[in-house]
């Protein structure tokens, strides 16, 4: 189980789109706990007190560190992911969603009406995560959805899309009416922050030295409602096992019930990257 090595960019020079950007040495790492009551879900693979593991090393629960009790657990009898200790570039443990017993492991939260009250599309919200991609794969990394709907419009999700042979990762909303591509090439990590502010869907991402900030209007916004299920490695529908799964490593995931500002999004992105990947991008507080 290896993460492909990658060369580090020269310290002090980061790529922002096609331009070079110097990181701010005085920038402070932001912790999810600093968002206060806006923090609704927080999973942390490197916090051993928040990861429950059985005797075989399978992860049976990711505890919600937000205090809202929205723990991610086994979905039916579906296979579970495993702990991958000390595999991130900064030596942190990750949760590996890999093939187990012939199927990909997954975790999720279902029947949580609180998810809809937090993240209904007409309400501003923010999602953030750090993930690693060890192989070329296509599928859903995480999905917040209305499982009662047969329409894929009723969900927020991040998809691993290797069809371009570039390992692009797509944020999808409202029947693919608002798709944005961020770069998380195979064998690398991706720090990703997604925001809906009531009118547009925007992301801020970092893959190595590549920094992206993109946004677009949300079409058919009212199609997303009744969000009541969160799934890692797959998308959910009532009466069916999660489908369209992807192999990946999860370091951290958190969600907020407000839209971060542009500056806050970039700070969250850099904080995720500093913790889980190249620590030289940010100076410790």
185: pLDDT strictly greater than 80: no
CA dihedral for 212, 283, 132, 202, sign (positive or negative)? negative
- Closest listed residue to residue 52, CA positions, set 132, 107, 124: 107
pLDDT at position 31 is 93
* DSSP assignment letter at 217: E
3-state secondary structure of 154: coil
Decide if 262 contacts 213 (C-beta within 8 A). Answer: yes
pLDDT at position 268 is 95
Rg (CA), the chain: 17
pLDDT at position 220 is 45
7: pLDDT strictly greater than 80: no
Q: Could you report the per-residue pLDDT of 41-75, keeping only the tens digit for each?
A: 999 999 999 999 999 889 999 999 999 999 999 98
106: pLDDT strictly greater than 60: yes
pLDDT at position 237 is 79
pLDDT at position 222 is 52
Under 8 Å CB-to-CB from 164, ≥6 apart: which residues? none
According to the per-residue pLDDT averaged within each range, which of 126-140, 224-238, 264-278 is highest?
264-278
What are the DSSP calls for 60-125, one per residue?
EEE--TTSS---EE--TT----EEETT-STTS--EEEE-EETTEE--EEEES-HHHHHHH-TTS-E
Residues of the chain with pLDDT > 90, as a percent, come to 31
pLDDT band at residue 101, thresholds of 50, 70 and 90?
confident
* Averaged pLDDT for residues 269-284: 71
- Closest listed residue to residue 253, CA positions, set 184, 191, 182: 191
Please tell me which residue, 205 or 256, carries the higher pLDDT value: 256
Distance of CA 282 to the CA centre of its chain: 20
171: pLDDT strictly greater than 50: yes
* Averaged pLDDT for residues 236-247: 81
pLDDT at position 235 is 84
Token pair belonging to 258: 């407000």
pTM of the full structure: 0.82
Q: How far apart are CA 93 and CA 140, in angstroms?
A: 21
Distance of CA 63 to the CA centre of its chain: 16
pLDDT at position 17 is 34
């Amino acid at each position: 189980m290896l993460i492909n090595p990658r060369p580090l960019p020269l310290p002090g020079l980061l790529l922002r789109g096609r331009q070079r950007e110097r990181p701010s040495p005085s920038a402070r790492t932001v912790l999810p706990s600093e968002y206060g009551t806006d923090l609704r879900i927080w999973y942390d693979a490197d916090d051993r007190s928040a990861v429950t593991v059985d005797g075989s090393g399978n992860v049976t629960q990711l505890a919600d560190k937000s205090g809202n009790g929205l723990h991610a657990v086994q979905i039916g009898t579906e296979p579970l992911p495993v702990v991958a200790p000390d595999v991130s570039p900064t030596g942190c443990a990750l949760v590996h969603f890999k093939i187990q017993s012939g199927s990909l492991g997954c975790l999720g939260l279902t029947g949580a009406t609180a998810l809809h009250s937090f993240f209904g599309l007409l309400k501003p919200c923010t999602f953030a995560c750090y993930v690693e991609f060890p192989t070329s794969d296509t599928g859903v990394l995480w999905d917040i959805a209305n499982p009662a709907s047969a329409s894929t419009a009723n969900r927020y999700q991040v998809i691993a899309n290797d069809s371009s042979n570039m390992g692009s990762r797509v944020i999808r909303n409202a029947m693919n009416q608002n798709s944005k591509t961020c770069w998380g090439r195979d064998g690398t990590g991706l720090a990703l922050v997604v925001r809906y502010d009531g009118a547009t869907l925007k992301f801020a991402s970092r893959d190595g030295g590549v920094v992206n900030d993109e946004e677009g209007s949300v079409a058919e916004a009212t199609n997303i409602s009744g969000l009541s299920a969160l799934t890692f490695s797959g998308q959910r529908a009532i009466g069916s096992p999660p489908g369209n799964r992807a192999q990946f490593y999860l370091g951290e995931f958190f969600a907020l019930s407000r839209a971060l500002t542009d500056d806050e999004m970039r700070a969250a992105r850099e904080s995720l990257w500093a913790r889980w990947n190249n620590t030289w991008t940010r100076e410790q507080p």
